Structure 1
Amino acid sequence: MGNIVTYLQDEQRTFFESPFCAVDSLVCSVICYFDFDHGAVAVAPSGRETLLHDIVALSDWKKLCSGSWLEDAKETEDFMRALMASRRYRSMTAAFYANEFSNVVEKQFSALTLFLGQGDAYIAFRGTDGSFAGWKEDFNLCFKHVIPSQRSAEAYLSGVASATECPLIVGGHSKGGNLAEYAALVAPARAYERIKAVYNHDGPSFLDDPSPRIEDASFAAKLNKTVPESSAFGMILERRTGYRVVRSSALSVFQHNPFSWEVECGDFACQEALNKSAVLFDAALDEWLRSKNTEERERFIDTIYDLFVSTDANSWAEFQSQILANTKKIVGKSGELDPDTRRFVLATIASLGGILKRETLKRFRPSPRTWLPFRKERYNTSADTQDPS
């Protein structure tokens, strides 16, 4: 079974010859993870376009992939070679690069506009990088109605729409998918009308609906949400149906890696339902979130974040480079928490474990009185769905 790398190698038709599809969107979402600030060929924040081929061919790949999951993925070099050699992507250009970061307001935002060469533009929003601030902003979605990156995504889409006249496609992977949805939902009417499609690749949903537009048939027709079979990230806060479930060559949370998503015949290889383990975890996480009020969620997330940043590491890579020493620091700092906060954190973690245990018993030891299809309107599960994990 192939993936987006083999798709790049095999699909050599231009966008004139074969229309843009969901697999192309995931490819563009991966491109958005490039560190264009340190590439040999700069991408302008203005509308001056640069050939994507030149960016890849003339850049130091290690620097171009630094700071993201790409620097550790074994498929990255093959992806770069295939992208550089692709007839399909040869005419693609990049412009309007934005990169904003702030530990103070817990914000990590980056976006790029890719002109496909046949008249359309793809607005790509970057997912979470390796920084603690980036991950903290993701978790803030559990208690904040709007996060700083969503505001930036709204402004970015509006700005690109004002500076261009072409049809727009919007998308991203992980948090980038959430930003793409948010930006489209709150976009001015004229910009929204120009959006042909919105792609959310395993990105979380929303605490509250950002706009009544989310219920419109027009938005449902534009939205393409894809999640891997054991999705943990893309199903967070998700209450809607209509997403596609993509088979993955990885297990558990590692399915979040786009290189693990299986591709066949120019499209994602899909199955009818999420794996049972994913449904179980998502149900437990949803119940846990509902059982805590906004203040409790914020307090728990802030406390855990403070423990990690107390190690002086700024990213997961830095943390893992001295994992034993940093783990000892966290354990030591947790002992310094005031008794009330320590009890609160331990009780919060225990409550999630208790919910997971109850959900497991419910699903695997059902009784006639309690066995009901869990949130049937949301999950299209089937008895014969196999869970490889």
Structure 2
Amino acid sequence: MRNIVAYMAEEQRTFAESPFNPVDSLVFSTLAYLNYEASPCLPPSPAGRVLLHDVVMLSDWDALSFGSWMEDAKDTSSFLRALSSSRRMRDVRVAFYANEVSEAVEKQFSAVTLSFPVTQGEAFYLAFRGTDGSFAGWKEDFNLCFKKVVPSQRAALAYASGVASAVEGALFLGGHSKGGNLAEYAALTVDEAVFKRVAGVFNHDGPSFLEDPSPRIDEERFCRLLHKTVPESSAFGMILERRADYRVVAASALSVFQHEPFTWQTEGADFVYQDALNPSAVLFDAALDAWLRGRTPEERERFIDTVFELLCSTEAASWGEFQDKLFANARQLLGSATQLDAETKRFVWQTVAALGGILKDETIRRLKPAARLRLPRVRARYGQGKGSEE
């Protein structure tokens, strides 16, 4: 099957010869996960530019991908190899790399600007990194369920405004996972002069917003710029999503593993699209939305804080560390859970039970119409078998 790795290996036209497209955006969004500080050729000044080809070829690939989902993805080496030999990517330059993580304020923010020549001048893609493997990164993602604004969103606005003031040319904003949310937020909140330079906004399987960041979200000009794509079994990208203008991409993996960009299917200069999400994804998304609407922001915050306090009690700093000693950490987590006070225990179990109950009700609700549709067909076949003239 064809994915972004095969796309880069086959698409050898320059951006001047073939315009920037949604598949390019997913490639650039994936590049936001690289640890550019591990490259020996990164300029000391954030505004200094270096060829992406040099970053890839002169760096240790394990160091570049350390700490993100790319570290364990089987296509990472093929991706970097295709990148290093791509005629299309040969003039792409890296600048304005930022990487900020703070456990104290539950913030994980990283972005990089990738510039490339176009027919008239130069364009700039501001790629926002999605969630890394740290608990701080995941905690900030879950905070989106009860906070109007999280620290990374403020950082994304400042980053977009700063880069726009330092360069001239068209701006593309995009990202995968939480990075897609940050790209949208920045585009919605930058001042008017910067927004007029935005040529596209790409959200690849990133969540939406608890509340609209600005009235711009309903304007036709923003809707024309926005490209939201989710895999067919999307869960994360549909959180808080109220709009219907997203597109569903076919993927080669199953269930939540479709979140990985390397599983998304491509054809030519675009993705392979489906008409709708898979039924299981629709079921889960409807249940999760009902659960979120059924809890107050305070209840969501309390539940999320409790879960992460339990995870932190294992002394693991990331999901990778938690999984490295899965049995021991799980045992310690369960032990910590038993030490919760009675009221907190009751609250946690009631919250989990509520989500389980909604999933059960939603499943029954969706199965009933299907059963009613099947029943007449069964009776008709039975009647015909008995020689009925009905």
Q: What is the TM-score of this pair, normalised by structure 2? A: 0.93
Residue 299 in structure 1 maps to residue 299 in structure 2: no
Secondary structure of the residue aligned to 2:79 is helix
Counterpart of 1:386 in structure 2 is none
Counterpart of 1:321 in structure 2 is 324
Counterpart of 1:283 in structure 2 is 286
Question: Quick one: which of 175, 179, 186 aligns to 1:176?
Answer: 179
Mapping of residues 1-389 of structure 1, within 5 Å: 1-42=1-42, 44=44, 46-118=46-118, 119-366=122-369
Secondary structure of the residue aligned to 1:170 is strand
1:242 CA displacement: 1.0
Secondary structure of the residue aligned to 1:127 is coil
Counterpart of 2:380 in structure 1 is none
Instruction: Write out per-residue CA displacement over residues 92-138 of structure 1, whole angstroms, 9 at most, x where no aligned residue.
Output: 00000100000000000000000012211000000000000000000
Query: Given the superposition, is the C-alpha separation of residues 236 and 305 from structure 1 closer, same or farther in structure 2, using an over 3 Å criterion?
Result: same
1:36 CA displacement: 1.0
Query: Given the superposition, is the C-alpha separation of residues 353 and 319 from structure 1 closer, same or farther in structure 2, using an over 3 Å criterion?
Result: same
Secondary structure of the residue aligned to 2:34 is coil
Secondary structure of the residue aligned to 2:228 is strand
Larger CA deviation: 141-150 vs 109-118: 109-118
1:39 CA displacement: 2.1
Secondary structure of the residue aligned to 1:120 is strand
Counterpart of 2:383 in structure 1 is none
1:44 CA displacement: 4.8
Secondary structure of the residue aligned to 1:128 is coil
Secondary structure of the residue aligned to 1:199 is strand
Gaps of 5+ in 1: 370-389
Between Structure 1 and Structure 2, the one with more helix by share is 2
C-alpha root-mean-square deviation of aligned residues, in Å? 1.2
Larger Rg over CA atoms: 2
* Contact 1:43–1:97 (CA under 8 A) maintained in structure 2: no
Secondary structure of the residue aligned to 2:210 is coil
1:165 CA displacement: 1.3
1:42 CA displacement: 2.0
Identity %: 61
* Contact 1:44–1:95 (CA under 8 A) maintained in structure 2: no
Query: Given the superposition, is the C-alpha separation of residues 246 and 367 from structure 1 closer, same or farther in structure 2, using an over 3 Å criterion?
Result: closer
Instruction: Write out per-residue CA displacement over residues 206-238 of structure 1, whole angstroms, 9 at most, x where no aligned residue.
Output: 000000000000000000000000100110000
1:166 CA displacement: 0.9
Larger CA deviation: 113-122 vs 225-234: 113-122
Secondary structure of the residue aligned to 1:219 is helix
